[in-house]
Amino acid sequence: MTPAQTQTGPSHRIALRDVDLVYSSLAFKERSLKTLALRTLARRPAAAVHDVHDVHALKGLNLEIGAGERVGLLGHNGAGKTSLLKVLAGLYPIAAGSLRVQGQVRALFDLSLGFEPDASGRENILYRGLLLGLNPAFMRRMENEIVAFADLGEFIDYPVKTYSAGMQVRLAFAISTAVGGDVLLLDEVIGAGDEAFMKKARERIRSLIDQAEILVLASHDITSLRSLCERGLVLDHGKLVFDGPIDAAVAHYRSTQGAQGAQAGT
Amino acid sequence: MSSYATRIWALRHFWVHLALSDLRSRWRRSYFGILWSVIQPLATTLMLSFVFAHIFHVAMADYAPYVLSGMIVWDFMIASAVNGSQSFIQADAYIRQCAHPLAIYPLRTVLGNLIALAAASTGLIAWVLLAMPQHFGWCWLAALTLFPILAGIGWPLATLLAYFAARFRDLPHSLGLLFQAMWFVSPIYFEPGTFRAGNLQALVDYNPVYHLLQIVRAPLLHGSWPSAENYAYCFGMIALFSSLAWLVGRKAERNVIFYL
């Protein structure tokens, strides 16, 4: 049972209670049996000077998001926006607290990961659909629509390794947004490809948002946050410091930014 | 537990595709393609048994299928353990994007290896049919049970090792060493008689590798059914590795993403 795939009911809902997320420093330090053995034998911290500590990414988060809500996440780099999205997607296990996500989750992050470089763009459409848990018959029905949206011309039948980075993002975007979900999690995906594609992508994201019951969007782009969301959450060092209407959240975020800037200036 | 199995089944298109694409990329742009799975062990066997048949004074036509049967099963075990241990690391792009049951990634490796083994075993069957057709009979059906048994051993073993390998990157190297050692003390290329003659019969009678190989050797090479003891050892290994993988995975599965 992952929290991301609980039952799909009429009332889609996200509920977090006292959620902690900790990245164990063991994951960066103990990479070999040797270091483990040495540390157990020596019984003292390996390098006291530049020691790496556990990263407490989310601290005591309490949050309720109901059906129909459009939520924007604000915060500085490293404030915990992506961590929160990944917890909601069921990717990261929480260290403490409880988490309930009701509804089919569709997460759009790390889009260009997971292509098979030797296979053609067309084959990769099928493969990525399977990764998302869709069945082959459905993907074959979707194929033409995805090919048309990605608009890669004859390159769709070339191996993905011949694609430019921009082309890869276009294809990944076209596939991943072909199907929506009840709970849509976005991490700065609006910003892929050239001007014309950006316009198409924005429209597509809008229609996905319209289909979704719940949207959680993490972004630094205040304009799109204001236009897409009604509710804003401000995160700072893993803590939820503001929860309210998006305009008030933006104002709160800007004021903390100003305070930090002033501190840095002195 | 049952919901975990349901989720693995729901993703069957995905892991079957991954296994097939592994095979495709292994044989991409090679002339013989999957035929290499047949040619390679056959050619190695011919060279080995030519030398060994002289050393041990046995008939090459009889000895070669013995070596071949040992080689293809052992290759499966090594590939499942060593490549299987890398299955989470190899799949990190998927693990970072989707919260699927992690057991599908070792399953992908083991399934690909089983297909390669099925191809390789056609060489063995052809050889035995030509060299000792008198063994052909109903008992050959028992040889088919090797596939579910190997899946039952290989999948949990690969899963178990993958948990350790995600955390300890030395594992694949030490596994190579371990399998080399096990090869020396098991009747894989050497016949059981060699061990018994050296007063080392324990290495045969209590060796799970020997019993596993008997599942295919008893029918194909001797025209007899495998013994209940042979099956008991196999099911023992399945039970052992499955419970170990379950015990480790219960705690470790959700944390794997931090170690990738």
The CATH number for A64's domain is 3.40.50.300
State whether B258 and A24 contact (CB < 8 Å): yes
Chain A interface includes B258 (CB < 8 A) = yes
A114 touches chain B (CB under 8 A): yes
**How many angstroms separate the CA atoms of B91 and B103, rounded?**
11
Q: What is the pTM of this model?
A: 0.86
Whether B178 and B190 have beta carbons less than 8 Å apart is answered as: no
pLDDT of residue A266: 36
Q: How far is A149 from chain B (nearest CA, A)?
A: 22
Look at chain B and report how many structural domains it folds into.
1
Q: How many domains is chain A built from? A: 2
Structural domain harbouring B68: 2-259
CB spacing of B11 vs A135 below 8 angstroms: no
pLDDT tens figures, B118-128: 999 999 999 99
More confident residue, B58 or A27: B58
Q: Do residues A119 and A195 share a domain? A: yes
Sequence-separated (6 or more) residues with CB below 8 Å from residue B173: none
- Which among A212, A230, A257 is the end of a domain? A212
Domain extent for A62: 3-103+221-265
Contact A4 B99 (CB under 8 A): yes
Q: Tell me if A110 and B94 make a contact (CB, 8 A cut-off).
A: no
Mean pLDDT of chain B: 91
A54 contacts chain B (CB < 8 A): no
* Complex ipTM value: 0.79
Coil/strand/helix, residue A96: strand
How far is the C-alpha of B54 from the C-alpha of B197, rounded, in Å?
Answer: 18
Is the CB of A116 less than 8 angstroms away from the CB of B21?
yes
Q: Are residues A228 and A190 in the same domain?
A: no
- Angle between helical axes of B208-222 and B228-252 (0-180°, round to 10): 140
Sign of the CA dihedral with A121 first, then B11, A15, and A214 last: positive
**Contacts A23 to B, Cβ<8 Å:** 258
Q: Which pLDDT score is estimated for A45? A: 53
Q: In angstroms, what CA-CA distances link A257 with A81, A227, A242, A264?
A: 16, 21, 14, 11
The set of residues, in sequence order, having a beta carbon less than 8 Å from that of B29 and lying 6+ positions away, is none
Confidence at residue A200, expressed as pLDDT on a 0 to 100 scale: 85
Check: CB of residue A79 under 8 Å from CB of residue A238.
yes
pLDDT, tens only, A164-194: 888 888 898 888 888 888 899 988 766 656 7
User: Taking 70 as the threshold, does the pLDDT of residue B13 lie above it?
Assistant: yes
- Asked if residue A4 has pLDDT above 70, the reply is no
C-beta separation of A13 from A79 below 8 A: no
CA–CA distances in Å: residue A46 to residues A37, A41, A197, B164: 11, 11, 51, 22
Which of A:84-113 have CB within 8 Å of B?
89-93, 107, 109-110, 113
Dist CA B192 CA B63 (whole Å): 12
**Residues near B33 by beta carbon (within 8 Å), at least 6 away in sequence:** B27
A2, A23, A131 member nearest B94 (Cβ)? A131
Contact B25 A131 (CB under 8 A): no
Note whether A70 and A233 are within 8 A (CB): no
Asked if A133 lies within 8 A of B28 by C-beta distance, the reply is: no
Residues A94 and A226 in one domain: yes
Candidate from A85-99, A141-155, A197-211 with smallest mean pLDDT: A197-211
Q: C-alpha A165: how far from its chain's center?
A: 20
The order of strands in the sheet holding A105-108 is A105-108, A183-187, A214-218, A70-74, A231-236, A239-245
CA distances from B178 to B78, B81, B171, B173, B190 (A): 10, 11, 10, 9, 18
Interface touch B98/A127, C-beta < 8 Å:
no
Same domain, yes or no: A38 and A95: yes
Chain A touched by B3 (CB under 8 Å): yes
* Alpha carbons A184 and A211: distance in angstroms, whole number: 9
Nearest chain B alpha carbon to A132? B98
Tens-digit pLDDT profile for residues B223-253: 999 999 999 999 999 999 999 999 999 988 9
Q: Calculate what percentage of chain B has a pLDDT beyond 70.
A: 100
Interchain CB contact of A119 with B (< 8 Å)? yes
In our burial notation (b when 16+ CB lie closer than 10 A, e otherwise), range B85-119 reads: bbbbbbbbebbbbbbbbbbbbbbbbbbbbbbbbeb
Q: What is the dihedral of CA B122, B127, B130, B136, to 10 degrees?
A: -60
* Tens-place pLDDT, residues A136-166: 899 989 999 999 998 888 999 999 999 988 8
Q: Taken in order B248, B251, B257, B260, is the CA torsion positive or negative? A: negative
Q: Strand A55-65 and strand A13-23: pairing?
A: antiparallel
Cβ <8 Å between A133 and B96 = no
Packing angle between helix B104-131 and helix B60-85, nearest 10 degrees? 170
CA distance A264 to chain B (A): 33
From the list B3, B13, B96, the residue facing A110 with the nearest CB is: B96
Partners of B170 on chain A (C-beta within 8 Å) are 32-34
Q: Please answer yes or no on whether A36 and B257 come within 8 Å at the CB atom.
A: no
Percent of the residues in chain A that have a pLDDT greater than 90, as a whole number: 28
A189 and A137 part of one domain: yes
CA distance B39 to chain A (A): 25
**Exposure string for A20-36, b = 16+ CB within 10 A, e = fewer:** bbbbeebbeebeeeeeb
CA dist A142 and A178 (Å) reads: 8
Q: What is the pLDDT of residues B77-124, one digit of tens each?
A: 999 999 999 999 999 888 988 889 999 999 999 999 999 999 999 999
Non-local (6+) Cβ contacts of B229 within 8 A are B211
Q: Which one, of A212, A229, A219, A163, lies nearest residue A191 by Cα?
A: A219
Task: Give CA–CA dist A134/A139, Å, rounded.
Answer: 7
Interchain contact, B97 vs A113, CB within 8 Å: yes
Give how far B256 is from chain A: nearest CA, Å. Answer: 9
| Integer Cα distance of A150 and A174 in angstroms | 5
For residue A205, the tally of other CB atoms under 10 A from its CB is 21
Q: What pLDDT score does A132 carry? A: 85
Interface membership of A27 toward B (CB under 8 Å): yes
